[in-house]
Amino acid sequence: MNIDQIIEGISRGDPRSISRAISIFEDDILADRAEELIRKLYPSTGRAHIIGITGPPGVGKSTLIGRLSGFFADEGRKPGVLAIDASSPYSRGAFLGNRVRMQESLMEKGIYMRSLTNRGFKGGLSLSALGACKVLDAAGFDPIIVETVGSGQADLDIMSVAHTVAVILAPGLGDEIQAIKAGMMEIGDLFIINKTDREGAFIAMKEIQDTLALGPHGKWIKPVLGLNSLTGEGFSDLTAEIDRHWIHMNSGKDAEGRLRGEVILIIENVFRKSLEKVMDEGGLTKEVMDRVFSREIDPYLGAELLMEQRLSEALKLQKSSK
């Protein structure tokens, strides 16, 4: 399949073409093929509501997303689901017990589900995920629900380009909840305590509400919802809040901030990739590193020298290509 065939397939919503495109991104989001794909897809994107779902392992993110996407599908919408580096991937055979049945019933409703990993350069995952969102967007999926495990830079990057971020917690996280709260109160637009059938759920909700009350207040008052993802209790409130936030987003300037975040992410990735390449190749880089190792120069000066070198090389390249 060449790029134009893939693009044509995506515009028809063909799952094979969609998977093919996402695999290209997984291999290397900065490769020429990947860039060509993005460039040609871009005009047909920009419609879908991207919803990020994040939270610690085991709080019920996948279960919740399964049910949420089912709700959206029943409303006549066409949700797509991406799981980023999840421990429980959405691939055939990887689901156990009721999850297999859940996935089958979701596929019958036309919901696209796919997990995403990174086979390219270090750190490329967030950008690949963003590329995958564009593929689903161009294929007409809306909303696009992205699951990540709530930790690490990739997670924060992905969440910064979602329109709506829901942070999921569950009772019984113990002391862990403090650390999680510290890192996640800012990125969340809505907060969910899942597993309300478990003891401690309402105390956990109260705790989150109290913490939010101390934080800065914007125009958007962050709701705290209780859910039972096994029974579906609370899900009509959840879809209502998600839709309300989407309307709120479109009336604000947030979209501009999102695109700014995306451009910065691309620059970071391009720079990191070229740096990794230079580091691997040795050469001049090794000379600088040897001076750092022998403590002749400090790491800051070493970094400065390397950056200068990279910039001048990049400029040379640009000149010669003109």
Ligand X SMILES: Nc1nc2c(ncn2[C@@H]2O[C@H](COP(=O)(O)OP(=O)(O)OP(=O)(O)O)[C@@H](O)[C@H]2O)c(=O)[nH]1
Q: State the CB neighbour count (10 A cutoff) for residue 315.
A: 10
Least spacing, CB of residue 231 vs ligand X, in Å: 7
151 forms part of the interface with Mg ion (CB under 5 A) = no
Least spacing, CB of residue 280 vs Mg ion, in Å: 34
Find which of ligand X, Mg ion, none residue 284 binds, CB within 5 to 8 Å per kind.
none
**Site size toward ligand X, by CB under 6 A:** 18
In this structure, the strands spanning 50-55 and 144-149 are parallel
What is d(CA 286, CA 173) in angstroms, rounded to the nearest whole number? 46
The footprint of ligand X on residues 18-37 (CB under 6 A) is: none
194 forms part of the interface with Mg ion (CB under 5 A) = no
Give the contacts of 95 (CB within 8 A, at least 6 positions apart): 88, 102, 103
In this structure, the strands spanning 144-149 and 164-169 are unpaired
Least spacing, CB of residue 173 vs ligand X, in Å: 12
DSSP character at residue 131: H
Task: Identify whether the C-beta of residue 239 lies closer than 8 Å to the C-beta of residue 68.
Answer: yes
Task: Identify whether the C-beta of residue 163 lies closer than 8 Å to the C-beta of residue 250.
Answer: no
Q: Nearer Cβ to ligand X, position 103 or 160?
A: 103
What is d(CA 166, CA 7) in angstroms, rounded to the nearest whole number? 31
Give the contacts of 110 (CB within 8 A, at least 6 positions apart): 73, 78
Least spacing, CB of residue 68 vs ligand X, in Å: 11
159 forms part of the interface with Mg ion (CB under 5 A) = no
Q: Nearer Cβ to Mg ion, position 86 or 177?
A: 86
Task: Identify whether the C-beta of residue 86 lies closer than 8 Å to the C-beta of residue 149.
Answer: yes
Q: Site mask, ligand X, residues 179-208, x = CB under 6 A?
A: ---------------xx-xx----------
216: tokens are 């800065």
114 forms part of the interface with ligand X (CB under 6 A) = no
Q: Site mask, ligand X, residues 59-98, x = CB under 6 A?
A: xxxxx----------------------xxx----------
Out of 34, 113, 129, 149, point to the residue binding ligand X (CB under 6 A): 149
Residues that bind Mg ion (CB under 5 A): 61-62, 86, 88
